[in-house]
Amino acid sequence: MSDKAERKPVLSKACTEQGRSVERLIEAAVGGDLESFGELCREYYASMVAVGYSVLGEHQLAEDAAQESFARALVGLRNLKNKKRFAPWMAAICKNVAKDMLAEKARRINSSDFTQVGKAEDPDGDDRLIHQVVEQLPESAKELVVLRYYDGLSYEQIGSVLGISKASINGRLTRAKRKMAKYLRRNGFPENRL
């Protein structure tokens, strides 16, 4: 088993450790404090990379999407009406950026399956099958699965980014995994490994 599988979801507590809640950071950032915005970026970077990855399917580009979304968010920060929805707002921007990158790439590469990216990152064996099954999932389920397993985000973090409850995450994730298991069985994946 790879090291990645050993990792446990970790809830980042950078903000609370510094005695500054995310909400206070948002207030400060909206007030013009760039450092607070930087703190927010650090706090949500992993989540945004995961969001980007759910659209782009490529690590490096997902990081670029996250960084570009921070740039857009910074410029539009004062348009954010509901400060409590900062993370979902940022995630939506990140999705937009990723989709733009996808569209731009499709325009330039004009290949819906990211052939050239695939060359660099195509996985082997089981991983490849898992990738396929994740791709088969509906968009919302795919997003959840990636957020959960890409960087090992906790339910709290996922809930904060998607703006949904833990119970809802649990239910959707369970259904998504059931679908995945079914697909894997259908494709001859050994039952004893499921």
Partner 1 sequence: MSPTKKNNKNLDELITGAIGRDKPEFDFNKWQQNHKREIEIFESQTLVGQTPQHIRPFNIWGIIIKSPITKIAAAAAIIIAAVLILRNGSVDITTPVFGVQDVLVAMKKAQWMHIKYEIIELHSESFSPEEIIRLPETWISVNPHRMVQIFGNGNISFREDELCKETRYDPESNIITITYKSRASDVQPSSIENLLFNQISEIEKEGGIVTYTNDLFQGKPVTVINVDTTNVSESGLSLSLFVDPKTRLPIKFTLGKVDGQSIMASGIIDYPQDGPIDIYKLGASQDAEVVVIDKRDQPELIEVLKPYNKARENLISDYILVTAHKSGSLVTGIEIAYNQGRKQRSERSSVRVPIISSDDDMIAYEKVLGDSVESLLTWARDNKGMTLDIYIYDGQFYYRSNKDSFGKWTIHEELHRPERNPIPLEDLCDLGWPGIPPKNCVKQIENDYSEENNLIAFEVTSGSDIRNGRIYFTAQKTINYLDPSRDYMCVRREMFHHPLSGGLGDTKIKGVDFDPNEIPDEPSFIRFVSEFGRTENGQWYPKKIETHSKRWDADGKENPLSLSSINTLYLKTNPEFPEGIFDPNNLPKEGD
Spatial contact of 156 and 13, defined as CB atoms under 8 Å apart: no
- Smallest distance, Å, CB 45 to partner 1? 4
Q: How buried is residue 96: exposed, middle or buried, by Cβ count under 10 Å (0-12/13-18/19+)?
A: middle
Among positions 121, 166, 170, 185, the unique one binding partner 1 when judged by CB under 8 A? 121
Q: Pattern 31-70, binding to partner 1, x per CB under 8 A?
A: xx-x--xx--xx--xx--x---x----xxxx-xx-xxx-x
CA atoms of 186 and 194, how far apart (whole Å)? 12
CA atoms of 97 and 3, how far apart (whole Å)? 31
Does 15 sit near partner 1 (CB under 8 A)? no
Nearer to partner 1, 26 or 91 (CB): 91
Among positions 13, 17, 19, 112, the unique one binding partner 1 when judged by CB under 8 A? 112
Does 109 sit near partner 1 (CB under 8 A)? yes
Site size for partner 1, by CB under 8 A?
93
Spatial contact of 145 and 137, defined as CB atoms under 8 Å apart: yes
Among positions 86, 105, 157, 169, the unique one binding partner 1 when judged by CB under 8 A? 105
Does 128 sit near partner 1 (CB under 8 A)? yes
Among positions 83, 88, 154, 175, the unique one binding partner 1 when judged by CB under 8 A? 88
Does 23 sit near partner 1 (CB under 8 A)? no
Does 78 sit near partner 1 (CB under 8 A)? yes
Does 158 sit near partner 1 (CB under 8 A)? no
Nearest to 66 by CA among 164, 146, 121: 146
Residue 176, CA atoms < 13 Å, CB-side half-sphere? 24
Spatial contact of 22 and 86, defined as CB atoms under 8 Å apart: yes
